[in-house]
Amino acid sequence: MRRIRANAIAILTVAWILGTFYYLWQDNKPQSSPSSAASQTRGRSHGQKVVPGRLEIHREDRTIPLIVSLLGSFDEKAYLAGKQLKPGEDPYREHAFNLQESDRLGSERAIRDTRHYRCASLNYDTELPSTSIIITFHNEARSTLLRTIKSVLIRSPPSLIQEIILIDDFSSDPEDCQLLAQIPKVRCLRNGRREGLIRSRVRGANTASASILTFLDSHCEVNTDWLQPMIQRVKEDHTRVVSPIIDVISLDNFAYLAASADLRGGFDWSLHFKWEQIPIEQKMARSDPTQPIRTPVIAGGIFVMDKSWFNHLGQYDTHMDIWGGENFELSFRVWMCGGSLEILPCSRVGHVFRKRHPYDFPEGNALTYIKNTRRAAEVWMDEYKQYYYSARPSAQGKAFGSIAERLTLRRKLNCKPFRWYMENVYPELRVPEQEAVSSVLKQGGLCLETRGTDSLGLSECRGIGANRPQSQRWELIEPLIRQQDLCLAISAFTVGSKVRMEPCNAKETLKTHFNNISKVL
């Protein structure tokens, strides 16, 4: 009996070993039928696991001639060798990321396709409009800039790339940009003085010849099929402004890391951008992970927008300087003036996130951010700008230039109030709790009072201070007018509409504006 068991174990062990060898041999076997187009691009590369159904061009013998022809006469080795880290130099000093690692990677590499697997089976129109890619930079490292451009050329259908417009924002070495113009489709515009990313992007947009604009930072790597989903959404509705999920390229070792697919753009009252979880109800309702994610604001650097819509909406506020705030201004404007913002999970672009700015701000970093965000708050945030000033007291009294033109634009475009944005686009942004002010509400010498549970009326004012009856005592907590657990509510802001007492979170609850009350009462 024992012998039989020992034999069985020995047979099983041998079978297991043979099975393992067979599996490993299969896995290393070259792809069969090399003539099929799919297998040409699905081969293993750099030890990466093959992902079925995903197309990626790897550094294989077959694809090198393709890449060479993409670059034309441009000599990438000479370009990269033209600027190298000097021995002993701090690799983080100049760019706030590890330049040594970036240079070591060279001009292109395979990256993991970080999309949800269902993205690979989506279809896009065969006839999509082409786009002008706009990349502004100030003293970008040559290796990151070249990788950005090459990733676009390698991972986009060539017919969709009309041109790549580089705006050199007065970098120290004009050749950083000029040499790149030898690459087919790449154009280089150099600013005669430092303008900042906002005016630079507008300059790029003004010379773009395609009907769709695509903005990128100068240290990105676009991922598989990044462009088609974005162009498709904009083609279907030109008022959509769309962004990819922004993956993380490590500033230390340049590893390409997948970002969470459950995030959207948000902010706090100091106008500080943050990534936040999609609200739980929206998350529960998402049965299809390839669907767009509505976002209150975009991060700002990587997005696709119809060119006529960009122009119609007033491009950017060109009185904003260097860096910062323009993403809020654009986001508020898009939502409030009839468009929408979304993040497309099937589009992925990697970006090197840094901890500090590697460049100088001629007016100082803080003052520039205040100037730009003040302009956004003053033009777009209506009465809500008070919360911006409470959160950022240092902004008060700081110069921000004239906003007359932008106010005229807002009027001309007939944009909705910020209250609408708060209620419809970003209801999750909490308005800070105000200190309650206890008062009476008077009209023509009479005081507003509650009678019983639901009825309201005007009668003679009685008592003062602590002696005032509860029925005539109101707490004003912007934007609510409260008495104990209930708040004043109306169905419409029109004369004659009935004022009632309702739970304070009811939709029709009368939201501030004491002048609205007198209009209604």
166 to 195: interface string for ligand LR7, x by CB under 6 A: ---x------------------------x-
Q: Of Mn ion, ligand LR7, none, which one does residue 322 interact with (CB within 5 to 8 Å by kind)?
A: ligand LR7
Residues touching ligand LR7, count (CB under 6 A) = 26
Residues touching Mn ion, count (CB under 5 A) = 1
Segment contacting ligand LR7 by CB under 6 A, of 110-118, 174-182, 318-326, 377-385? 318-326
Looking only at residues 197 through 256 of this chain, which bind ligand LR7 when binding is defined by CB under 6 A?
197, 200, 217-218, 246
Among 56, 176, 195, 217, binds Mn ion (CB under 5 A): 217
Q: Of Mn ion, ligand LR7, none, which one does residue 170 interact with (CB within 5 to 8 Å by kind)?
A: none
Segment contacting Mn ion by CB under 5 A, of 183-191, 214-222, 404-412, 498-506? 214-222
Q: Is the separation of the CB atoms in 222 and 149 below 8 Å?
A: no
Smallest distance from ligand LR7 to CB 167, Å = 7
442 vs 445, 479, 507, CA distance in Å?
6, 18, 25
46 vs 25, 59, 149, 472, CA distance in Å?
18, 9, 22, 77
In terms of Cα–Cα distance, which of 485, 470, 480 is closest to 517? 480
User: In the complex with ligand LR7, which residue's Cβ is closer, 103 or 168?
Assistant: 168
Among 130, 327, 368, 483, binds ligand LR7 (CB under 6 A): 327
Smallest distance from Mn ion to CB 330, Å = 16
54 vs 64, 115, 119, 159, CA distance in Å?
19, 10, 9, 20
Burial string for 375-389 (b: 16+ CB within 10 Å, else e) reads: bbbebbbbebbbbbb
Tokens of 160: 């969709």
- Contact flag: residue 302 with ligand LR7 (CB under 6 A): yes
With the C-alpha atoms ordered 209, 210, 214, 220, is the resulting torsion angle positive or negative? Answer: negative
| DSSP per-residue letters across 367-424 | HHHHHHHHHHHHHH-GGGHHHHHHH-GGGTT------HHHHHHHHHTTPPPHHHHHHH
User: In the complex with ligand LR7, which residue's Cβ is closer, 27 or 360?
Assistant: 360
Ramachandran angles phi, psi of 101, nearest 5°: -65, -40
Q: Of Mn ion, ligand LR7, none, which one does residue 136 interact with (CB within 5 to 8 Å by kind)?
A: ligand LR7
Segment contacting Mn ion by CB under 5 A, of 36-44, 211-219, 459-467, 509-517? 211-219
Q: Is the separation of the CB atoms in 438 and 473 below 8 Å?
A: yes
Strands, E, within 149-185: which ranges? 161-168
- Contact flag: residue 359 with ligand LR7 (CB under 6 A): yes
Among 74, 79, 97, 137, binds ligand LR7 (CB under 6 A): 137
Smallest distance from ligand LR7 to CB 298, Å = 7
Q: Of Mn ion, ligand LR7, none, which one does residue 300 interact with (CB within 5 to 8 Å by kind)?
A: ligand LR7
Segment contacting ligand LR7 by CB under 6 A, of 249-257, 350-358, 376-384, 502-510? 350-358
Cα distance between residue 351 and residue 226, in whole Å: 13
Segment contacting ligand LR7 by CB under 6 A, of 229-237, 320-328, 401-409, 428-436? 320-328
In 184-301, which ranges are continuous DSSP H helix? 197-207, 227-236, 280-285
First to last CA, the chain: 99
Segment contacting Mn ion by CB under 5 A, of 2-10, 209-217, 412-420, 491-499? 209-217
Strands, sheet with 499-503, edge to edge from the N-terminal-most edge strand: 437-439, 474-477, 480-483, 486-490, 499-503
Q: Is the separation of the CB atoms in 196 and 310 below 8 Å?
A: no
User: In the complex with ligand LR7, which residue's Cβ is closer, 376 or 448?
Assistant: 376
Among 299, 334, 425, 441, binds ligand LR7 (CB under 6 A): 299
Q: Is the separation of the CB atoms in 149 and 185 below 8 Å?
A: no
Segment contacting ligand LR7 by CB under 6 A, of 123-131, 295-303, 378-386, 441-449? 295-303
61 three-state secondary structure:
coil
User: In the complex with Mn ion, which residue's Cβ is closer, 166 or 448?
Assistant: 166
The binding site for ligand LR7 (CB under 6 A) comprises 136-138, 140, 169, 194, 196-197, 200, 217-218, 246, 273, 299-302, 322-324, 326-327, 351, 353, 357, 359
